[in-house]
Amino acid sequence: MTAAEIRLFFQHLQSENPQPVTELHYNNDFELLAAVMLSAQSTDVGVNKATARLFPVANSPAAILELGEHRLKQYISSLGLYNSKARHLIGACEILAREHQGKVPGTRKELEALPGVGRKTANVVLNVLFGEPTMAVDTHIFRVGNRTGLAPGKTPLDVEKGLLKAIPKQFMQDAHHWLILHGRYTCTARKPKCHICPVMQECHWPEKTSAIS
């Protein structure tokens, strides 16, 4: 995809959704961190249902620690991998309480030192809470980056690096949300909705013509 096509690509996405936001529900910094940690291999809808039960009871590191791992599991048992997620969240809360006065740290190194927080989770937190122009490559962004020709890559890190290099600076802050939402609702894994796609003209997917017909 050429530089001119990339600029048009994001201009179209911006026009469709000028102020994109995460679909995870949260009311404070810790709630976002916890929700993103719980979202691994789970849908945002599923996470929001679980946190709607959990957060009114415990929405801070201290409250989660007081709740305890066993009771925490009861609130998030609807999510995949809930046993490991509960263990990681408890471990993260212990570090947040001990080393960060219960606050979510604002550096990649500190975030990735928390159990259950990898590069993707750290990128989401840095982007949403701290306004950093990061790119959290999930399955949707990986697909869109490769399918459209925007930033082809064999691994999520390849796609992340390609996107950070290709996306114009003026779009970087919101690009993560635009690409996730585009992959989630339009450029879907099965039967992509090319007939309503706002970036169809810029897309380099060789099968898009057949998908429209």
Name the catalytic one among 73, 85, 120, 208. Answer: 120
The three-state secondary structure class of 157 is helix
Residue 26 has pLDDT above 90, yes or no: yes
The CB density around residue 95, as the number of other CB atoms within 10 Å, is 16
Concerning whether 73 is annotated as a catalytic residue, the answer is no
Q: pLDDT tens for residues 100-111?
A: 999 999 999 999
**At 173, is the pLDDT very low, low, confident or very high (cuts 50, 70, 90)?**
very high
Domains by residue range for the chain, with CATH: 3-20+135-212 (1.10.1670.10), 29-130 (1.10.340.30)
pLDDT value for 41? 86
Residue type, 49: K
Counting beta carbons within 10 angstroms of the beta carbon of residue 183, is it exposed (0 to 12), middle (13 to 18) or buried (19 or more)?
buried
For residue 40, pLDDT over 90 is answered with no
Q: Give me the pLDDT at residue 192, please.
A: 93
Percent of the chain with pLDDT over 70: 98
pLDDT of 33 above 90: yes
Residue range 174-188: average pLDDT? 95
Percent of the chain having pLDDT more than 90? Answer: 94
d(CA 47, CA 37): 10
Residue 7 predicted with pLDDT over 80: yes
| Rounded mean pLDDT, 90-94 | 97
State the Cα–Cα distance between residues 47 and 33, nearest whole angstrom: 12
Contacts of 53-60 spanning 24+ positions with Cβ under 8 A: 55/26, 55/27, 55/31, 59/27, 59/28, 59/30, 59/31, 59/34, 60/28, 60/30, 60/102
**Can you give the length of the chain in residues?**
213
Q: Would the pLDDT of 211 be above 80?
A: no
pLDDT score recorded for residue 1: 86
| 109 catalytic per annotation | no
pLDDT of residue 207: 82
Tell me the mean pLDDT in the region 139-158. Answer: 95
Determine which one of 73, 85, 138, 174 is catalytic: 138
| Alpha-carbon gap, residue 48 to 36, rounded angstroms | 10
Per-residue pLDDT, 35: 97
* Mean pLDDT within 174-199: 94
What is the spatial distance between Cα 93 and Cα 102, in angstroms, rounded to a whole number? Answer: 8
Separation between Cα atoms, residue 72 and residue 83, nearest integer Å:
9
- Enumerate residues 6+ apart whose C-beta is below 8 A from 76: 38, 50, 54, 82, 85, 86
User: In degrees to the nearest 10, what's the CA dihedral of 180, 186, 191, 196?
Assistant: -160
Mean pLDDT of 53-82: 96
Q: How far apart are CA 207 and CA 168, in angstroms?
A: 27
Residue 213: its pLDDT value, please? 60
